[in-house]
Amino acid sequence: MITLAKILSEKELADMDIKKIKEDDALLEELIRKEYALVVDWSGEEGDNYLFNFFNQRTVSLLGRQLDISSNEVCQQFDKDIDTPKRGDFVPFALEYFDKHLKSNGLRVVLLDMGNDTYYIFVAPKTDADRLTKIKSTFWKFKLVSFQNKTPLYVANCPKCGNVQFFGLDTDIDEKDLAGKSCSDCGTLFWDDNGNEMVKIEKYY
């Protein structure tokens, strides 16, 4: 299982009844329930200040102090920087914005890649954030925030079972990394081993 000391304060760690949690997915659900992790849909339509409140709470828990920015600052900056915003633009912008501010305080935003259309957001000390990305696990696949190259979001709608999968949601993905990707539900191949599309793939920039 994940080393919880990398993402929780000592008090939070003591409050977790780890011995009762045997499965990774059950642990993730408990972390979300306790608001140690935040789940955000790609469209970013959860409501006002949900990201700020989460990052502020994690900063208080891990550092003992609040964020050094106001709750509406990220929205104001988004309106200033993005001329023609599209659905789904806000969350990547906000994650980079908060990551920049957290970094100056010794923290980083870390994303758990679950291979779907949702952001699973954590906060960790900078040194621990780098270590989280190196964990060898089929479940706990962490990545640092990186949307700089603006590669597309690939959306594959499986023609066999109807499952919709997203590639490149929480971090940029190179086209060569798509080779051999298949449906997580039924195994239908989306790209062959040479990276050629085997089903219809939609791209969103």
Say which residues have a Cβ less than 8 Å from residue 24's Cβ, sequence separation at least 6.
Answer: 1, 2, 137, 139, 140
Give me the sheet containing 201-204, strands edge to edge: 164-167, 153-157, 201-204
Q: Which helix (H) or strand (E) holds 121?
A: strand 118-125
How many residues comprise the chain?
205
Cα(184)–Cα(131) distance, rounded to whole angstroms? 27
pLDDT, residue 176, reads 75
Q: What are the boundaries of each domain within the chain?
A: 4-144, 149-205
The one-character DSSP state at 5 is: G
Say which residues have a Cβ less than 8 Å from residue 97's Cβ, sequence separation at least 6.
Answer: 74, 77, 78
pLDDT, residue 150, reads 56
CB distance 164 to 117 below 8 Å: yes
CA distances from 144 to 31, 37, 40 (A): 19, 15, 16
Pick the CATH number of 149-205 from 1.25.10, 1.10.287, 2.60.40, 2.20.25: 2.20.25
Amino acid in position 138 = T
Q: How many Cα atoms within 13 Å fall on the side-chain side of residue 180?
A: 3
pLDDT, residue 128, reads 93
Amino acid in position 165 = Q
The one-character DSSP state at 146 is: B
Torsion of CA 173, 117, 144, 198, to 10 degrees: -20
Say which residues have a Cβ less than 8 Å from residue 86's Cβ, sequence separation at least 6.
Answer: none
**Collapsing DSSP states into helix, strand and coil, what is residue 142?**
strand
Q: What pTM did the predictor assign?
A: 0.72
Mean pLDDT of each 10-residue bin along the chain, 205 residues long? 81 84 90 94 74 95 91 87 83 91 92 88 93 89 75 84 80 75 93 90 75
